[in-house]
Amino acid sequence: MPSPPLPQPEPALCLALAADLRAARFHGEDVRAAWGELADDAIARGLRRPAERALADRDDPIAVLARLLVLGMPQSLSQVESALPRTTAAGLVALGLAEVSADGIRPLAVVRPQPYVDDTGEGGWWVASDLDEAALGGPLPEDHVLGVGGASLTLAGLQLPTPARRGLDVGTGCGIQALRARRNVAEVVATDISERALRFTRLNALLNSVDGIEPRRGSMFSPVAGEQFDRIASNPPFVITPRAEGVPEYEYRDGGMIGDDLVAEFVRSVGSHLTPGGVAQLLGNWETRPGAVGLDRVRDWVAQSPVPLDAWVVERETLDPLSYAELWIRDGGTLPGSPEFGRLIDAWLEDFAGRHVEGVGFGYILLRRPMAGGPTLARYERVGTPPSGAPLGPHLAEALSAHDRLTALADGDLEASVLTVAPDVSEARHHLPGSESPSVIELRQGGGFGRVIEVDPALAALVGACDGDLAVGPLVAAIAELLEVDGAALREDLLPRIRELIFTGFLRFS
């Protein structure tokens, strides 16, 4: 499918469009209210007909804009002129977001409200990107610029909320990570191989009156050779794609390398672009092969970095090769059951078989360049999707801070520390019928990763007693006396587990 013209991010027209969108109350909650909960749920599943029906008899500005800019439906010239009095239909065309057609003003892009929540509260952006497969009615062009999806929101929520001076967004796409980074970072360089993506990034920065974002064109770290940053974020084109004739190579998800080589190259290379104390965060896929579990392969990539790095890698889920292929073929707009779908499945499975791939992991990678000395954090774990849905960035920042404090804390100093239980922690005890003592004691975390940890009576008693009053040492001694066990042995057993509970956010320093 041919690509539409490039967006034209003209500052005055972007300001006019923002003013029109604001006047029309074109925000997420207002658009959802306009078409209703059922239609909103349908849109999340790629179905737009319920929303079309809900808005069919309306020509007020929010209905016109929702059809034009969210659903990608043509609208009459008079409707667009009424909904966008400052921008006008001609202005929308000049921005490269629409064109004049026989059926009125036909959109060439979507501009969708995107709410966000961070440590300062709730807010929202308008984010422009290419028309999706529902609006196009078929497969996407290979230079398609993706809008804000689940992976984008995941990485945006992972970004640390602590202030920094310079940031880098590698593979910026529509610019959502750069917008998110600017909430805490003074200046951000946003790179991409796609001129189309960089135009959307610039347009979205202007549309939301966000300065301090500098688009640069190029692959990986080539546009920032010799430069260092305090924060690096990347939702790279990590999708494992067969290098075979006839398989679409979508720029937004395919980096042109074999297997998971792009993520491996990023991990090996990023350290030299981090300032001391600087943090890189990215999403990625990694293959599991015979004798080489995915997380272990990521560990090897980190070890191959010429710059020593702290690492915290979370594998959120794994897919078998067939499920992985189906996911990404559907993502490109090819429908199951079609001959093309079957042909692409064969290409994917043949590619995986050539490397003996047994499964593909998806997750988050956090890398940090130590301020001095060697790495102190090497954590590779499997954790499911957090149940709360809240941004993980604050939790990650607190965990890193706790880790640094614990690293400098001798056991004697930990015993002298006073701790409190985090407010989101609860305890669950499971009893067999007729038994007085619990067979299982669990600590449950409401925030963060939503971890559930099984503990023994001694650790449960200590956590229950951490109310900001007594220090750890006296608590351990009292529990040893209560349970009639050796105090030194209990201390040796509990202190490492207390450290783990502090890092994971169950316990906090008072």
pLDDT by residue for the chain (510 residues), tens only, comes to: 567 889 999 999 999 999 999 999 999 999 999 999 999 999 888 788 999 999 999 999 999 999 999 999 999 999 999 999 999 999 999 999 999 999 899 999 999 999 988 777 788 999 999 998 878 877 788 889 999 988 999 999 999 999 999 999 999 999 999 999 999 999 999 999 999 999 999 999 999 999 999 999 999 999 999 999 999 999 998 899 999 988 988 888 888 889 999 999 999 999 999 999 999 999 999 999 999 999 999 999 999 999 999 999 999 999 999 999 999 998 887 888 889 999 999 999 999 999 999 999 999 999 999 999 999 999 999 998 888 778 999 999 999 999 999 999 999 999 999 999 999 999 999 988 988 888 899 999 999 999 999 999 999 999 999 999 999 999 999 999 999 999 999 999 999 999 999 999 999 999
| Residue 320, CA distances (Å) to 263, 324, 353, 356, 358 in order | 19, 6, 12, 12, 7
Distance between CA 441 and CA 436 in Å, rounded?
Answer: 13
Nearest to 362 by CA among 282, 285, 264, 254: 285
Nearest to 62 by CA among 127, 113, 125, 10: 113
* Residues linked to residue 126 through DSSP beta bridges, in sequence order: 113
Distance between CA 503 and CA 400 in Å, rounded?
Answer: 8
SS3 content of the chain, % helix, strand, coil (to 5): 40, 25, 35
- Residue 181: the pLDDT is 97
DSSP string, 385-439: --SS---SHHHHHHHHHHHHHHHT--HHHHHT-EEEE-TTEEEEEE--TT-SS-S
- 24 and 163 in contact (C-beta within 8 Å)? no
* Residues linked to residue 442 through DSSP beta bridges, in sequence order: 428, 454
DSSP 254: B
Nearest to 459 by CA among 443, 447, 448: 443
Distance between CA 42 and CA 63 in Å, rounded?
Answer: 17
Distance between CA 444 and CA 21 in Å, rounded?
Answer: 43
Distance between CA 453 and CA 497 in Å, rounded?
Answer: 11
The residue type of 253 is R
DSSP 273: G
E strand or H helix that includes residue 93 = helix 88-94
Paired tokens of 133: 């497969």
Query: With the C-alpha atoms ordered 152, 153, 154, 158, is the resulting torsion angle positive or negative?
Result: positive
3-state SS, residue 492 = helix
DSSP string, 49-91: HHHHHHHTT--SHHHHHIIIIIS---B-HHHHHHH-TTTHHHH
Q: How many CA atoms lie within 13 A of 125 on its CB side?
A: 27
Paired tokens of 75: 């609208």
- 441 and 497 in contact (C-beta within 8 Å)? no
For the beta carbon of residue 101, count every other beta carbon within 10 angstroms: 10
Distance between CA 148 and CA 18 in Å, rounded?
Answer: 18
For the beta carbon of residue 181, count every other beta carbon within 10 angstroms: 29
- Please report the domains of the chain, with CATH numbers, ordered by start residue: 1-115 (no CATH), 161-235 (3.40.50.150), 238-385 (no CATH), 398-509 (3.90.930)
pLDDT in tens, 376-411: 999 999 998 888 778 999 999 999 999 999 999 999
- 276 and 230 in contact (C-beta within 8 Å)? no
Distance between CA 190 and CA 173 in Å, rounded?
Answer: 9
| Residue 489, CA distances (Å) to 461, 486, 492, 494, 507 in order | 16, 5, 5, 9, 22
- Torsion, Cα of 269, 272, 273, 277 (10° steps): 120
Those residues whose C-beta lies under 8 Å from the C-beta of residue 294, and which sit 6 or more positions away, are 286, 287, 288, 315, 318, 359, 360, 361
- 418 and 467 in contact (C-beta within 8 Å)? no
DSSP string, 145-191: ---S-HHHHHHHHHS--S-EEEEEEES-TTSHHHHHHTTTEEEEEEE
Q: What are phi and psi for residue 266, nearest 5 degrees?
A: -60, -50
The residue type of 458 is A
